[in-house]
Amino acid sequence: MEYCLGIESTADDFSVGIASFEGEILANIIDAFISETGGIHPREAAQHHSQVAGKVLAEAFKKAKIKPKEIKVVAFSQGPGLGPCLRTGATVARALASYLGVPLVGVNHCVAHIEIGKLITGAKDPVTLYVSGGNTIVSAFDAGRYRVFGETLDIAVGNCLDVFARTAGLRQREGMPFGAIIEKLAEKGSRFVPLPYSVKGMDLSFSGLLTAAIELLKREEYSLEDIAFSLQETVFAMLTEVTERALAHTEKKEVLLTGGVAANKRLQEMLRRIAEEHNARFCVVPKQYALDNGAMIAWTGVLAYKHGQTVPIERSFVKLRWRLDEVDVPWVKE
Amino acid sequence: MLIKKGAEANLYLKEWHGRKVILKHRIPKKYRLKIIDEQIRQYRTLHEPQLMHKAKQAGVPTPTIFMVDTANTTIIMEYIEGKQVKLILNELTKKERISLCKKIGRLIGKLHRNGIIHGDLTTSNMILTPTGKIFFLDFGLGEFSKELEAMGVDLHLMKRALQSTHFKFADECFKAVLNGYMETFGQETEKVLEKIREIERRGRYIAERKEKP
């Protein structure tokens, strides 16, 4: 058997995954850097990554029950992401590839989210809604690349929810991130307060909405539950509207939901509805593969390696703003 | 007869007092709260005809509105014979394509000059008639605004639509759109272009940000 080891370190998670060339995931160890008050300080996160790298690597090998010398390719997330975090992961990947004497593959983080989603759910050619703390993208494959049909014009939707939670004085902890806390609060809310609904073509804007929600908090006229409810209902309706437009436009027959925000049950319910209306299959990527994870880098590394997309170590610079639609994906058939 | 089931509306081709008309019905969306749903549908049903009417006055062809029913979120408008620009753009010769995009640009310039923001400038919302006129449709996401920000986003969306649907010709097409735009929008075009660059740099993972302003 041949294996690819993937390293993910674009933001607050450091993760190592191991995938076989046939698409079996043998290990996916994630070590999250959690700040109770939220936000990611790039340097602190990078320090966390370098501290846990050795431990996470060892755990991955143990879980996969394989030896380092059985690794045929090393892949790493080359971007987009936070500079110091990306560089830490890249350094580990370069060292490992050169120690093992195997090729190195630089993987686009957003492509990897879509590829692992397809592998795990069995989706073939979906419209993907990728929603997380750093990204908000509606994408579908066309002519050799994942095209971006809609995206945020300012902040990511996860970022919007996180900053709201932080401003409300909430605290997150392991297993209970801000998104989950807001979801719980929203379930208890019932009074809807109108917030700016900002859909521009297929693109979205969340910054004005966030400001308005924070203003509501300050006015102390509505309960936190009601504001969380209104915020969720508004942003998810916006996301669902643009996804539906992409679905109508491309006439694809699958909807894939991934990223950290994909765990939200209300968002899942809304997307399931539009998928049904358009006779499309709805697929949600399970949490361990929807959050930033090494398995997605390992699996995409396999696909890229098979198509000769390796990178010499001396040219393996990280790309902080590497767009999804800049990447050729020759392994996807028309 | 249902001719198109769009994401937010159903379009029916009908006979209405001896004319061929399009009936556009914004259908309820059960995925969102009823209060959000009704607000969005009624707002768009009311604003779309106003924007289309103003656009026509500004010299941008749009279907004539015959009836608006906000309670039933329905609009009855003139049926335009022609082809969607989306379907023909990739088939044209380079010269024809550039000339068509330039024409589109001139029309967008006219809209903006008159404070009309289309809100969803894509080639599927434009119809080329046999006489060579270009009709703009779907003003549902539009607004009245004279702010550079709104104009910049409008043009940025046009660029993004070209990139996702006509990626082979996106650059030459958008350049032609801007050339046409400049003709009708005039001297302040440079300010709008600077705004577009600013909007693109604002995005989170945007290649344009690699270049220093």
Q: Give the pLDDT confidence of B119-130 residue by residue, as tens digits.
A: 999 999 999 999
Class of residue A160 by CB neighbours under 10 A (exposed 0-12, middle 13-18, buried 19+): buried
Asked whether A18 and A298 are in contact (CB, 8 A), the reply is yes
Query: Has residue A333 got a pLDDT over 50?
Result: yes
Tell me the fold of A125-287: Nucleotidyltransferase; domain 5 (3.30.420)
Q: Please state, in angstroms and as integers, the Cα–Cα distance from residue A311 to each residue in A2, A73, A83, A167, A330, following that order.
A: 19, 11, 19, 43, 16
**A242 pLDDT band (50/70/90 cuts)?**
very high
Asked whether A302 and A331 are in contact (CB, 8 A), the reply is no
A323 in contact with B at a CB cutoff of 8 Å? yes
Query: Hey, what CATH class is A3-113+289-326 in?
Result: alpha beta
Query: Has residue A138 got a pLDDT over 70?
Result: yes
Nearest CA of chain A to the CA of B164: how many Å? 6
Residue A54 has which token pair? 């050795």
Find residues 208-237 of chain A whose CB sits inside 8 Å of chain B: 233-234, 236-237
* Beta carbons of A274 and B31 less than 8 Å apart: yes
* Beta carbons of A201 and B33 less than 8 Å apart: no
Find residues 39-68 of chain A whose CB sits inside 8 Å of chain B: none
Domain boundaries, chain B: 2-78, 83-210
Per-residue pLDDT tens digits for A178-191: 999 999 999 999 99
- The SS3 assignment for A119 reads helix
Mean pLDDT over residues A152-169, rounded? 95
Per-residue pLDDT tens digits for B5-23: 888 899 999 999 999 999 9
Query: Positive or negative, the Cα torsion across A107, A113, A114, A120?
Result: positive
How many contacts does A have with B, using Cβ atoms within 8 A?
Answer: 100
Do the two domains A3-113+289-326 and A125-287 of this chain adopt the same fold? yes
Nearest in space to A106 (alpha carbons), one of A114, A97, A118: A97
Amino acid, res. A260: G
Radius of gyration of chain B (CA): 18
Nearest CB to A326 within list B8, B153, B207: B207
Nearest CB to A192 within list B35, B121, B210: B35
Chain mean pLDDT for chain B: 93
Instruction: Find, in chain B, the residue whose alpha carbon is nearest to that of A109.
Output: B205
Pick the CATH number of B83-210 from 3.40.50.1360, 3.20.20.120, 1.10.510.10, 3.30.390.50: 1.10.510.10
Instruction: Find, in chain A, the residue whose alpha carbon is nearest to that of B124.
Output: A249
Asked whether A109 and A10 are in contact (CB, 8 A), the reply is yes
Q: Please state, in angstroms and as integers, the Cα–Cα distance from residue A206 to each residue in A155, A190, A214, following that order.
A: 6, 22, 12
Mean pLDDT over residues B187-193, rounded? 96
Query: Has residue A164 got a pLDDT over 90?
Result: yes
Asked whether A63 and A29 are in contact (CB, 8 A), the reply is yes
Nearest in space to B107 (alpha carbons), one of B147, B77, B140, B134: B134
Nearest CB to A321 within list B31, B141, B205: B205
Query: Has residue A205 got a pLDDT over 50?
Result: yes
Chain mean pLDDT for chain A: 96
Mean pLDDT over residues A90-100, rounded? 98
Mean pLDDT over residues B182-189, rounded? 96
- Residue A248 has what pLDDT? 87
Nearest CB to A153 within list B30, B161, B202: B202
- CA separation for the pair A241, A267 (Å, rounded): 12
Find residues 141-200 of chain B whose CB sits inside 8 Å of chain A: 141, 153, 156-157, 160-161, 163-164, 167, 199
Query: Has residue B206 got a pLDDT over 60?
Result: no
Domain B2-78 sits in CATH at 3.30.200.20
A153 in contact with B at a CB cutoff of 8 Å? yes
Residue A123 has which token pair? 């989706």
**Which chain B residues are Cβ-neighbours of A271 within 8 angstroms?**
31
Which residues of B have a catalytic role annotated?
Answer: 120
Nearest CB to B157 within list A154, A203, A241: A203
Nearest CA of chain A to the CA of B177: how many Å? 18
Residue A332 has which token pair? 């996807």
Per-residue pLDDT tens digits for B16-70: 999 999 999 999 999 999 999 999 999 999 999 999 999 999 999 999 999 999 9
Q: How many CB atoms lie within 10 A of CB A64?
A: 24
- Strand B19-26 and strand B9-16: the pairing is antiparallel
Nearest in space to A115 (alpha carbons), one of A105, A106, A104, A126: A126
Residues with Cβ within 8 Å of B174's Cβ and at least 6 positions away in sequence, in order, are B101, B158, B159, B162
Domain boundaries, chain A: 3-113+289-326, 125-287
Residue B6 has which token pair? 């769009």
A178 in contact with B at a CB cutoff of 8 Å? no
Nearest CA of chain A to the CA of B18: how many Å? 32
